[in-house]
Amino acid sequence: MVVLLGDKCAEYGGQVDVEVHIETCSDILWRELEHSGDEILQLVIQCAEELPHKSTLYATLVGLLNLEDEEFGMKVVDTSHAKLQDALDSENCNKIRILMRFITVLMCSNVIPPSSVIEVFETLLSSATTTVDEERGNLAWQARADFYIFCILGCLPWGGLELAERVPDDLDRVMTEIEAYLSIRKHIFEPAFLPFETPADDNKDGGQDFLEDLWERIKLLCEDGWKVDSVPRPHLAFESRLVTGKSYEFRPVTCPEQPDQPSPSSDVMIGRQRHEAELKYPQRIQRLHIFPVSRTEENMKPIDRFVVEEYLLDIMLYLNGCRKQCAAYMASLPVTFRYEYLMAETIFSQLLLLPNPPFKGCYYALVIIDLCKALPGAFPTVVAGAVRSLFDRVNDLDLECQARLIFWLSQHLSNFQFIWQWEEWLHVLDLPRWSPQRVFVQEVLQREVRLSYWEKIMQSIQKAPGLEELLPPKDGSCFKYADQKGDQSEGVEFSLSKELNNLVKDKKTSREILSWVEENIIAVHGHNVAIDVVVQTLLHIGSKSFSHLFTVLERYGNIISKLGSGQSNEILVIEETSKIFQNNTQMAAIAIDRMMVYRIVSNLSIVTWVFSPSNVEQFHTSDRPWEILRNALDKTYNRISDLRKGVISVEKSVQKAIEAKVKAQADLDSAEALLEAAESEELQGQMAVKLKRLKAAVERTKQEESSEQESLEAKDALLSRALSENEVLFITLYRCFSDALMKHLSVDLTEKQEDVLGTDQREQMSIDSEEPSAMDADDDERRNQRFSKSNGLHSQAEQQWCRCTLGQLRALTRKYGTEIWPHIDKIDAEVFTGDIHPSIVKAVYSALRRPV
């Protein structure tokens, strides 16, 4: 009944009156407090934390229980204080935000005095103001200061009215201090972390960042008398009773000490600290403005948008393990206005949040699917409108966001029989091959084929004749040693392939096959022909399915590994793999990924191959090379993450072994002392036996400690080696990007670079950053002209190639920033020196939030 408080359910007899729910639940719980007080306390606190959209209900429930049992109310306050202090110390953003809201609504129910809430606000305000102070603070940690202010402002829709009535002077002081903070903080405008290059025409936020926008909404709320329609106020129904209850002081909390400024101070050291701060205190939402404001904020006040967004984000955060219940709560928020458009925009804002969404894209896909089923009359139309709006602006959409949108749309359509108004997108056939809209449709169709089969997708686009040319070829394998009918043709290499195929069918061992390859192919025809024949034949055998492919690589991967030793040979192996699966991007990507897992090819070879001429020319027309590159980087990142987790685990084991050894030694010392003090022979005999057992225990714990130390040293060595390899990988990656881009970008680097970097320098958040200039509002045509002129580009295809390549460079840097920062000095020294083009530097630095 506590969990279902406020829900329409059988437990409450189908009643929908919230006040009746609270009264009923309170009557049941107070009778159980004497016997199950601790269990009820933990349950109520847990519900307030994990169902925060119902926090006002739980606060009112606590207020009523406090009337019956003051000890229970005091325990709620003490537990909330302990949890908030722990959240501050551990820098758990979600818990800090939710617990601050909970203590605010407890104040509304007269469980906590308003002076205590003001004291918490001022503690966070003081910490935030100190952080952004140029003399005493550390500007690199502004993300934490902004988060503290966001938490304070985020509590006011829930408790601003009570604070204004009971402590108006204190609230005015807090508001004044927040305004002073906003006047000295640095405005945040980071183009590399925005989903669109240019804002929507009706984006009313203008140049405001998220904190400034919330402040404007709070000021309008204050002018409106702190009345919020979207926040339930169930405590008002029990106000005459709650005022008689006892309030409990909420003890002061302390904020973590701000990190010291780096010494010596440099943009690299400051950038590392800022990156760490942004990871710990990320921005919660980046509004997309897919729909006109007249739709998303229809019949609601400005503050209602923020409140509804908080409801939706909290539900998705805490109910991510129960998607159907998540969708049910999202579809039935306690508001009186329609919010389908705002709900869709909020979900897509999370899906496309940069640098990383809180959850994997498939989670948001499932939520949207369940919402379409829960609201069949409204939400599917809204989702379709969102897709059309995003498609219209796909030219301006960040490349990583484009990839996420493609993955989501293909998965979404696969759950609705691939039904879509494809005829609306027929015009893409008239666009160049490199057009973002054409590439978008092409990639969606190819992803759909992966999730179904070619004939099914072909059938789904029958009403849009012509789009079939964007489908991948029906035949997925391009085995070079077979004729058009699929039978093997004649010739030396063909016969070698046929013989190798027979050896595999006869289940010869990999050692026998390798000996045959060395005697019959390498010795006669050379190493390259051997790689060609072996890779083509074995992968053709494994091309029937994923399981066939994995089996072939497991059994005969060592043959390919022997032939492909050395980077040049590994690149040949990858090239042959790409050729045989040139009509099946999924199989090519999986085969190369699996080869990397089996150490047949290295990540360096994959990076080098991706930037080969045949792939470079596809950079703006296909996601194929980028998918293979992303897989290689993801695999490397995951391996390092696993090694780090392994080191942490072994370190804990070492600590436990040391503690066990110390305890065993203490027991032994104590037994030896007792043996010396023993007077009778019987007691001496008993102690001697015990002493022998304890000595054995000490030896055993010493051996365990030694074993764990050796394991830790081995893990540390593996991690150090992996990090060294990672450094080489990123240097190679940036060098490949630089070499490819420098062939297309041409500008006199001896001239002043303000024309190229000026706009982004103004946009970049640095010590001297200001508001974005009016030039940022130029239309697409003027922006394209500036890009073309500043980089010496002429054809539109060349411009788009550069935009895609620079966009991918920015996206990969942004995604792997945590792994790049430790090696940034070496990367600067080996790559970003000399005649490097400023556009390349700008793309990397902006993705690292580093001043140019």
Which pLDDT band holds residue 199 (cuts at 50, 70, 90)?
low
Which pLDDT band holds residue 580 (cuts at 50, 70, 90)?
very high
Give the per-residue pLDDT at 474. 85
Tell me the DSSP string of 190-225. -GGGSSBSS--TT-TTTT--HHHHHHHHHHHHHHTT
Give the per-residue pLDDT at 207. 66
Nearest CA among 111, 123, 82 for reference residue 99: 82
Which pLDDT band holds residue 538 (cuts at 50, 70, 90)?
very high
Which pLDDT band holds residue 263 (cuts at 50, 70, 90)?
confident
pLDDT in tens, 117-168: 999 999 999 999 999 998 888 999 999 999 999 999 999 999 999 999 999 9
788 has a pLDDT exceeding 80: no
Taken in order of first residue, the domains within the chain and their CATH numbers are 2-217+226-249 (1.25.40.180), 293-464 (1.25.40.180), 492-635 (1.25.40.180)
Among residues of the chain, what percentage have pLDDT more than 70?
91
802 has a pLDDT exceeding 90: yes
The residues, ordered by sequence, that sit 6+ positions from 676 with a Cβ below 8 Å of its Cβ are none
Predicted model pTM? 0.89
Nearest CA among 391, 60, 88 for reference residue 231: 60
Q: How far apart are CA 602 and CA 606, in angstroms?
A: 6
Give the per-residue pLDDT at 148. 97
> What number of CA atoms fall less than 13 Å from residue 460's CA on the CB side?
22
Which pLDDT band holds residue 111 (cuts at 50, 70, 90)?
very high
Nearest CA among 145, 148, 66, 163 for reference residue 111: 66
691 has a pLDDT exceeding 90: no
770 has a pLDDT exceeding 80: no
> Quick check: bond before 838 cis, omega within 30?
no
774 has a pLDDT exceeding 50: no
Contact between 277 and 142 under an 8 Å Cβ cutoff? The reply is: yes
773 has a pLDDT exceeding 80: no
- 179-183, 219-223, 599-603, 773-777, range with the lowest pLDDT: 773-777
Q: How far apart are CA 357 and CA 354, in angstroms?
A: 7
Contact between 235 and 242 under an 8 Å Cβ cutoff? The reply is: yes
Alpha carbon of residue 621 to chain centroid: 26
- 233-237, 687-691, 776-780, range with the lowest pLDDT: 776-780
Q: How far apart are CA 852 and CA 844, in angstroms?
A: 9
| Number of Cβ within a 10 Å radius of residue 206 | 11
Q: How far apart are CA 30 and CA 64, in angstroms?
A: 9
CA-based radius of gyration for the chain? 32
Rounded mean pLDDT of 456-479?
A: 89
765 has a pLDDT exceeding 50: no
Contact between 730 and 161 under an 8 Å Cβ cutoff? The reply is: no
Which pLDDT band holds residue 673 (cuts at 50, 70, 90)?
confident
Rounded mean pLDDT of 721-740?
A: 95
Give the per-residue pLDDT at 689. 80
Give the per-residue pLDDT at 791. 52
Q: How far apart are CA 845 and CA 852, in angstroms?
A: 6
47 has a pLDDT exceeding 80: yes
pLDDT in tens, 204-260: 455 678 999 999 999 999 999 999 999 999 999 999 999 999 999 999 999 999 888
Alpha carbon of residue 206 to chain centroid: 26
Give the per-residue pLDDT at 135. 85
Contact between 407 and 447 under an 8 Å Cβ cutoff? The reply is: yes
> Amino acid letter at 650?
V
Q: How far apart are CA 323 and CA 312, in angstroms?
A: 13
Q: How far apart are CA 764 and CA 810, in angstroms?
A: 14
Per-residue burial over 533-571, b = 16 or more CB atoms within 10 Å of its CB, e = otherwise: bbbbbbbbbbbeeeeebbebbebbbbbbbbbbeeeebbb
User: Average model confidence (pLDDT) for the chain?
Assistant: 89
The dihedral built from the CA positions of residue 663, 664, 666 and 670, taken in this order, carries a sign that is positive
Q: How far apart are CA 591 and CA 577, in angstroms?
A: 7
Rounded mean pLDDT of 461-490?
A: 77
Which pLDDT band holds residue 326 (cuts at 50, 70, 90)?
very high
321 has a pLDDT exceeding 80: yes
Task: Give kind and range of the element (H or E) at residue 681.
Answer: helix 681-742
User: Locate tokens 């016969």: which residue?
Assistant: 495
pLDDT in tens, 507-537: 999 999 999 999 999 998 899 999 999 999 9
